[in-house]
Chain A
Amino acid sequence: MMTVLFTMIRREIQEHKLAFIYAPFAVALVLCLVIASVYFGITDIQTNEFNFSTEIYDEEYQEGMLLASPEAKARVIRAGLIVLGLPILLTVGFGLLAYSLSTFADERKDRSLIFWRSMPVSDLTTVLSKLLFVIFVVPLLVLPNIILLQSVAMLSASIYFVTNDIVSFGYLWTSYFITDWFRIIFSLWAQALWGLPIFLWLMFAGTYARRPLVGAAVPIVVTIVLEGIIFKTNVVLEFIENRLGFWSRADSFPVASDEIRVVDISDIFLMLSTQAFWIGMLACIILVAGIVYTRSTNNDYTVE
């Protein structure tokens, strides 16, 4: 069973390396180049809303850096590193939505489903392999890019600070730098679990709809409209909005989070204690059953 799952997951990685290996790496690489260029004085970015240049390190700022408490310093550095990784996470997030919509639709479209189904692999195993890919593997593929980006940012900034006599080289390198990578990976796994109902819904549409995007969107839009007209509520819409956002900032999360911060492992247990999480898991079980049933019975290979 483990060999089969390993093989199936490797197949997913091979098929979707563009979305989950090349695209995040390209984004990380561009960000690394931009950051290094700014710190080495080659360029800067100044817009009305965003200012990223070494000019911010004026005398007042430098004084603040020297006077900052270790806690305040760590908080700012950690938050900054998290923000740096957001473009990569957004890229992978869109990649996951596209993957979910296409993974079962593409195999119908190119009729490779006939080949996959000629192998001694149950539909449930196939669905489980795709779930494991989304929940556990994709975050693992993303992490090296975040590590690369954070390392380049820290190194560039440290070289800048030491060569300009602002602070010592080791100023930025708090003990959190490496341990936060573990928090990030756990957080990404939690994020994938949190958003799983959305991914599974898109996968379900791919198993039956001739136009998967229409098949995924129309039932949801109709439900939202009917719910608004009949019950004057918007539970479905809020559910979707919540699931598309960060799990630690969801309405149902027990601790309000006003600032950008690195989540702690204990936050994941808080998520597991919420009713909203388990409602999502129940929806996942129903959707997995639906996907297995539809994939095993639908012999319509027409996908537009």
Chain B
Amino acid sequence: MSSDLVIKASEVIKSYEGNNALDGINLEVASGQILGLIGPNGAGKSTFLQTVLGLINTEGNLEVLGLDPRKDRHKLLKDVCSITDVAVLPKWMTVDQVLTYVNGVHPGFNLQKCLSILSRTNIKRSSKIKILSRGMVVQLHLSIVMAINAKLLVLDEPTLGLDLVYRKEFYSQLIEDYYDGNKTILISTHQVEEIEGVLSDAVFMNQGRVVMQDSIESINKKFLELRPNQESVEKAQALGPLHHRTELGREVFLYEDADINELNGIGEVRPPVIADLFIAIMEKTRKEVEL
């Protein structure tokens, strides 16, 4: 993985009527990362992604591929692709027309590659976009994006409202056919469980701030989840878990920087799922603020 920085954000602030949607974001994204932005509604994920794409003005310093996204948006978009909403392809166009359009305006678009990807779907080139199902429109959009030789791909809730089959297909296609280790992908979605298998890094956001940023590899080493045996619950509690919850009547403890050997002796140990870790981190942050 290259250590070249694709995104460098320093104290990025965006205010709407006195409220900070972004409250001093500091973030560095390196080339080759598949980074998930994870957070509740209003955390500032979409606002940050729009900032990266140069769609909104912010305070602070932000560089994307060495450019200021606000000033050099159209130059930047030669190397940055995005799907920032579902089914936004112009409905009056036919599939052929939209492909011809992208081929005409995007220097990095490979029409043959796009047609090859489309040939594996049920989408006909002569079809009007308005007659395609929502899932097919997203498939078409993804096919276009995948045929663009971009350095950064920004996905903001790209599968919102799609059924499970399309969602699964979307991410498997993205990883199998698009990601080559050099491209950087930034994903924001509520369906964390669907993307955590593809992420190399995760950023937890809350109330316009970055709460935690780490690689999945490091997270899996640092955080461990324990389902203790019935008789070891008290012992597990005594080890100072970061978070505790009950799942189907069974106690589940989450530890930070715990000794795996110590935990192995008292129950079933495994890395936590991102969603559970996020809730634990949020709770920890809330308690720290209250103190």
Contact = CB atoms under 8 A, between A and B. Distances in A.
A177 B119 CA distance: 52
- Residue of B76, B83, B106 with highest tally of chain A CB at under 10 A: B106
B73 interface: yes
Q: Tell me whether chain A's interface is mostly helix, strand or loop, or mixed.
A: helix
Given A118-B53, A118-B82, A120-B78, A7 B105 contact: yes
Contacts of B90: 15, 107, 110, 112, 115-116
Contact of B104 (A7, A116, A117): A7
Interface string B72-113: 011111100111110011111100010011111111000000
A114 B154 CA distance: 13
B55 A117 contact: yes
B57 interface: yes
A299 B85 CA distance: 13
A119 B57 contact: no
A120 B57 contact: no
Contact of B91 (A10, A110, A116, A117): A110
Nearest to B130: A110
Given A297-B57, A299-B56, A118 B91 contact: no
Contacts of A117: 55
A143 B114 CA distance: 38
A11 B101 contact: yes
Interface string A9-41: 011001100000000000000000000000000
Given A115-B88, A119-B105, A14 B93 contact: yes
A6 interface: yes
A134 interface: no
A299 B55 contact: yes
A112 B89 contact: yes
Interface in A218-235: none
Nearest to B97: A14
A112 B106 CA distance: 17
Contacts of B100: 7, 10
Contacts of A6: 104
B77 A120 contact: yes
B251 to A, nearest CB: 46
Contacts of B73: 122, 296
Nearest to B83: A118
B106 A119 contact: yes
Contacts of A122: 73-74
A8 interface: yes
A110 B90 CA distance: 7
- Residue of B50, B77, B78 with highest tally of chain A CB at under 10 A: B77
A3 interface: yes
Nearest to A296: B73
Contacts of B82: 118
A297 B90 CA distance: 20
Given A4-B105, A7-B100, A15-B92, A119 B85 contact: no
- Residue of B50, B82, B85, B101 with highest tally of chain A CB at under 10 A: B101
A68 interface: no
A299 B104 CA distance: 26
Contacts of B76: 120
A98 to B, nearest CB: 15
A4 B104 contact: yes
Interface in A72-116: 107, 110-116
A148 interface: no
Given A4-B104, A119-B105, 4 more contacts: A110-B91, A112-B91, A115-B88, A122-B73
16 contacts: A3-B104, A7-B104, A8-B104, A10-B101, A111-B88, A112-B89, A112-B90, A115-B88, A115-B89, A115-B141, A117-B55, A118-B83, A119-B77, A121-B74, A299-B55, A299-B56
Interface of B: 50, 53, 55-57, 73-78, 81-85, 88-93, 97, 100-107, 141
Interface of A: 3-4, 6-8, 10-11, 14-15, 107, 110-122, 125, 296-297, 299
Interface pairs A-B: 6 shortest CB-CB = A7-B104, A120-B77, A112-B90, A122-B74, A114-B88, A120-B78
